[in-house]
Amino acid sequence: MKIGLIFGGTSEEHPVSVKSAQEVAKHLDPEKYEPFWIGITKSGDWKLCDNPDDDWESGNCRPTVLSPDRSVHGLLVLEEGGYKTISLDVVLPVLHGKLGEDGAMQGLLELSGIPYAGCDISSSALCMDKSLTYVVAGSAGITTPNFWTLTANEDPDPGQFTYPVFVKPARSGSSFGVSKVSRAEELPSAVATARQYDSKVLIEEAVAGSEVGCAILGTNQDLIAGELDQISLSHGFFRIHQESEPESGSENSTITVPARVSAETRELVQETAKAIYRALGCRGLSRVDMFLKDDGTVVLNEVNTLPGLTSYSRYPAMMAAAGLPLAEVIDRIVALAVPEKAR
């Protein structure tokens, strides 16, 4: 099967995407797949390269584009005197953040007519915008934090909130631009920080409880939930991908898989994650992050439609703990994307 793997991208999560692609490369079965590595530079150049190693941009790369023309059904690779076409059977986006996880790439793939792994345009866009995620999930009966949104030219009234609150870019990945605000005088600075990543800002009540996550794989009613993970903090708040060397662990958090919760709580959190996944129209894979309150209430935090697949990422760790190694996860999400008759 000819599989296009798109990685890199122009978002702040570019380095994480490269690491995710490197981990996928280690677990991609060469007897099943013929990979075509499509790297997008930070400035937005598309390149067909040999592999996603650390210096992929300086290697044997050729300019390429994904053709939106369905008759091509793949790549246009630029060469001296013209171009050649490479047809693809499926695309696996290994992208995180803006223009990769927000529906933009999914729209291009829809135009191309190439099957692709993961969530579609609408669910990608919904889950990327945390305020829309809360509105849709809340209408489906899911408990969400109280929240407020600010548009580009709107300034908040610091006196209207009960502190602490979290201030976040509404449409950004990982923990970029996120601040915990404990006093009213800290709010303007936190909003300015969030606006470095998005013009739309989310102000969200702090939820007292532990943070838990659930990896979901599948479509519609046929869903597999990985083991839960649980985040323990020594101080501050969980800031994923903010460490200088994330492979070495975090300076303020420890992730435990499986989570130290009762069997009843485990089932409740997994079923809540599945309900969130379905309500938002997810397919293929997603990681659902939630808060578990002391009274047993499960509160939605956010949904990552293209979660990290690095050696230290939460999604593959949760699936591995449930007996699904990354190689099998890749096989399953590709199989979900490609109709049986095409395989």
Per-residue pLDDT tens digits for 30-43: 999 999 999 999 99
Q: Mean pLDDT over residues 53-80, rounded?
A: 92
| Higher-scoring residue by pLDDT: 12, 325 | 325
pLDDT at 254: 86
Q: Mean pLDDT over residues 127-148, rounded?
A: 96
pLDDT at 314: 94
Examine the residue annotation and report whether 96 is marked as an active-site residue of this protein: yes
pLDDT category of residue 315 using cuts at 50, 70 and 90: very high
Collect all residues with Cβ–Cβ distance below 8 Å to 268 and sequence separation of at least 6.
296, 298
Q: What is the pTM of this model?
A: 0.92
Q: How far apart are the first and last CA of the chain?
A: 8
Q: Mean pLDDT over residues 206-223, rounded?
A: 94
pLDDT at 245: 65
The residue from 247, 264, 340, 341 that is catalytic is 247
Collect all residues with Cβ–Cβ distance below 8 Å to 14 and sequence separation of at least 6.
8, 42
pLDDT category of residue 247 using cuts at 50, 70 and 90: low
Q: Mean pLDDT over residues 93-113, rounded?
A: 95
Task: Set out the domains of the chain in order of their start, with CATH numbers.
Answer: 2-116 (3.40.50.20), 125-143+208-337 (3.30.470.20), 147-205 (3.30.1490.20)
Secondary structure class of 257 (helix, strand, coil): coil
CA distance 89 to 200: 37
Q: Are the C-beta atoms of residues 315 and 307 closer than 8 Å to each other?
A: yes
pLDDT at 80: 84
The residue from 312, 314, 315, 332 that is catalytic is 312
The residue from 47, 200, 287, 332 that is catalytic is 287
- Identify whether 169 is preceded by a cis peptide bond (ω within 30 of 0): no
Examine the residue annotation and report whether 107 is marked as an active-site residue of this protein: no
The residue from 14, 47, 96, 200 that is catalytic is 96
* Lowest mean pLDDT, pick from 120-129, 135-144, 173-182, 283-292: 173-182
The residue from 4, 12, 19, 77 that is catalytic is 19
pLDDT at 91: 98
Average pLDDT, the chain: 92
One DSSP character per residue, 63-128 reads EEEE---TTT-EEEEEETTEEEEEE-SEEEEE--STTTSSSHHHHHHHHHT--BSS--HHHHHHHH
Our CA dihedral for 3, 287, 222, 140, rounded to 10 degrees, sits at -130
The residue from 4, 8, 14, 16 that is catalytic is 16
Does residue 267 surpass a pLDDT of 60?
yes
Does residue 174 surpass a pLDDT of 90?
no
CA distance 334 to 118: 9
Examine the residue annotation and report whether 308 is marked as an active-site residue of this protein: yes
Examine the residue annotation and report whether 315 is marked as an active-site residue of this protein: no
The residue from 74, 97, 100, 308 that is catalytic is 308
Does residue 238 surpass a pLDDT of 70?
no
pLDDT category of residue 240 using cuts at 50, 70 and 90: low
Does residue 300 surpass a pLDDT of 80?
yes
Examine the residue annotation and report whether 235 is marked as an active-site residue of this protein: no
> Residues of the chain with pLDDT > 70: what percent?
93
Q: Mean pLDDT over residues 105-110, rounded?
A: 97
Examine the residue annotation and report whether 9 is marked as an active-site residue of this protein: no
Examine the residue annotation and report whether 98 is marked as an active-site residue of this protein: no
Residues 271, 323, 286, 283, CA torsion sign: negative
Does residue 234 surpass a pLDDT of 60?
no
The residue from 241, 266, 274, 332 that is catalytic is 241
Examine the residue annotation and report whether 241 is marked as an active-site residue of this protein: yes
pLDDT at 217: 98
